[in-house]
Amino acid sequence: MTAAIYTARANLNPLLIDAPADTDKQTTPGGQLMITTDVENYPGFSKGIEGPELMMEFRQQAERFGTEFLEEWINKVELQARPFTLHTENRIVKADTLIIASGASAKWLGIPGEAKTPKGFGGNGVSACATCDGPLPAFRNKRLVVVGGGDTAMEEATFLTRYAARVYVAHRRDKLRASKIMQEKALRNEKIEFLWNTELAEILGTHEHGVTGVRLRDTCNGEEKTFECEGVFIAIGHKPNTELFKGQIEMDTVGYLKTNGHSTATNIPGVFACGDVQDSVYRQAITAAGTGCMSAIDAERFLDHLPVEMPGGEEVTIEGELISRDRKLIIEPTGEVIPNEPVFE
């Protein structure tokens, strides 16, 4: 949305393509903020603001400057040549530059009982977002299980102790992956109990009452037992939504798109990435908005025939000239190498 606001205001005629709402694929147009309740740390809202309300403000701001919106799945992208080609369900879209802001999604365990209701208990006692769902009456004063051993799990477990009767962290090993400070906070919390060397084999319940328990498996000896609880929070990390770009854009081992922090350029000249799809560390609304702004300015520079820094440190122009990392050489699209020296008239 921020990239759309900036590019629209710069008269670049942006088209914002968003995934339609889909319960099976768990997508909501507008992304993660649409499934967040109170946003208390986005600057400018001293009393806090609901995620969907903040998103609506962004959308109206982008609309005000002429952003067009399309809610359709993109099935295929062709990024070998400009203009880039995007094949959506019903049309073919051509674009001079592409800004990817497809975000990241929570990872799931893939065990019985975890799927969205009515197939499982997702949304009926199973969640992947404590900040979104923890305050709901269904979880208040209840026994809750949090799965995971990283910072997300520690953060979610700690947060849930505000509402729950007791929080059990089930971790598949006997050592946490979380940072020391987050570990200590959770380990010190009297409402949190750790279930070490434990994985979830199944989530149990009824459609009438929601979650009633879980089947736990000891990862050392394989023994299983039933454990009573009324809620399960899966907190085993996120995966970037980059499936569509596999084989075309450089990614890290997890699948996050590679940019270098100095700019939002990817390895393909004219393709930029912003927000959680290229950020496994900060993952905040404000940092996503910040990189969204950067990507719009980078796209604008690129279209204005100015050089933009690539992930490897070299610069590229829309004409396909490459400027070396040390800025001493220009490699022409023909392969000719010339010194990058000041020109005096």
- Catalytic residue IDs: 129, 132-133
* Distance set, CA 199 to CA 215, 222, 227, 264, 335 (Å): 9, 10, 12, 38, 55
Q: d(Cα 127, Cα 72) in Å, to the nearest integer?
A: 26
Tokens of 176: 């946490």
Q: Return the bridge partners of 272, or none.
A: 99, 265
Binding footprint of ligand NDP, residue count (CB under 6 A): 19
Q: Is 25 in the site for ligand NDP (CB under 6 A)?
A: no
Is residue 275 part of the contact set for ligand NDP (CB under 6 A)? no
Work out which of 18, 114, 151, 279 binds ligand NDP, going by CB under 6 A.
151
Nearer to ligand NDP, 152 or 317 (CB): 152
237 binding ligand NDP? (CB under 6 A): yes
Residues 27, 217: Cα–Cα separation, whole Å: 31
Of the candidates 48, 64, 212, the residue with the CA atom closest to the CA atom of residue 143:
212
Pair of tokens at residue 95: 């674009």
Instruction: Report 175-194 residues binding ligand NDP (CB under 6 A).
Output: 177, 179
Q: Which is nearer to ligand NDP, 105 or 280 (CB)?
A: 280
Report helix, strand or coil for 217: strand
The residue range among 60-68, 145-153, 317-325, 328-336 that interacts with ligand NDP, by the rule CB under 6 A, is: 145-153
CB 18 within 8 A of CB 103: no
Q: Which CB sits closer to ligand NDP, 92 or 254?
A: 254
Residue in 148, 205, 231, 275 binding ligand NDP, rule: CB under 6 A? 148
Residue 278's SS3 state is helix
In the set 114, 199, 279, 298, which binds ligand NDP (CB under 6 A)?
199
Sites of contact with ligand NDP (CB under 6 A): 109, 147-153, 155, 172-173, 177, 179, 199, 236-238, 280-281
